[in-house]
């Protein structure tokens, strides 16, 4: 499965990864490891899956996008927070993709495709991006603006 939006910006995204001090040691994930996660939990949304397979986690700027190890470490926590806190917020089925430094959970609303954040300090949702590709390209633009 190919993500056309991110695929056509692959060289630009790679250049941002190379320019950022936060991405040292970040490597693409193997298909086998992704399949293992998916067999234990659920399917990873296609745009996020593409990023993991081609580049790995994304640490260009906030929000941080989990690598596969972090996703696995945080998935159960997310499910608990989803049940306990986020169930009162208006959104579709959600899949965690990262976080913010203040402890907010960043997720893809699987119904709308929007990337949103849940801040448990004020029990509300924050719109972060219209979709995952837009989020990644916004993070790349932040790195480019500093170069």
Q: What are the pLDDT digits (tens) for 103-114?
A: 788 999 898 999
pLDDT of residue 103: 76
Q: Domains of the chain by range and CATH?
A: 6-146 (3.40.1580.10)
- In order along the chain (147 residues), what is the average pLDDT of each group of 10 residues? 79 93 88 97 95 94 94 85 61 84 85 84 78 96 88
Spell out the residues 6+ positions from residue 103 whose beta carbon is closer than 8 angstroms to its own. Answer: 119, 120, 121
Residue 33 φ then ψ, to 5°: -65, -35
Query: Which pLDDT does position 1 carry in this prediction?
Result: 44
pLDDT at residue 65 in the model = 96
CA atoms within 13 A on the CB side of 45: 20
Which tokens is 50 given? 């593409």
């Amino acid at each position: 499965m190919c993500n056309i939006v991110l695929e056509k910006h692959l060289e630009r995204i790679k250049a941002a990864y190379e320019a950022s001090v936060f991405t040292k040691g970040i490597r693409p994930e193997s298909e086998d490891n992704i399949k293992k996660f998916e067999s234990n939990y659920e399917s990873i949304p296609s745009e996020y899956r593409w990023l993991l397979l081609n580049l790995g986690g994304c640490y260009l700027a906030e929000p941080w996008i989990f690598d596969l190890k972090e996703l696995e470490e945080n998935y159960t926590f997310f499910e608990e927070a989803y049940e306990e806190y986020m169930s009162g917020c208006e959104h579709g089925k959600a899949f965690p993709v990262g976080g913010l430094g203040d402890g907010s959970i960043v997720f893809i609303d699987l119904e709308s495709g929007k990337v949103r954040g849940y801040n448990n300090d004020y029990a509300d949702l924050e719109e972060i991006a219209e979709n995952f590709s837009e989020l990644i390209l916004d993070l790349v633009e932040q790195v480019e603006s500093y170069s």
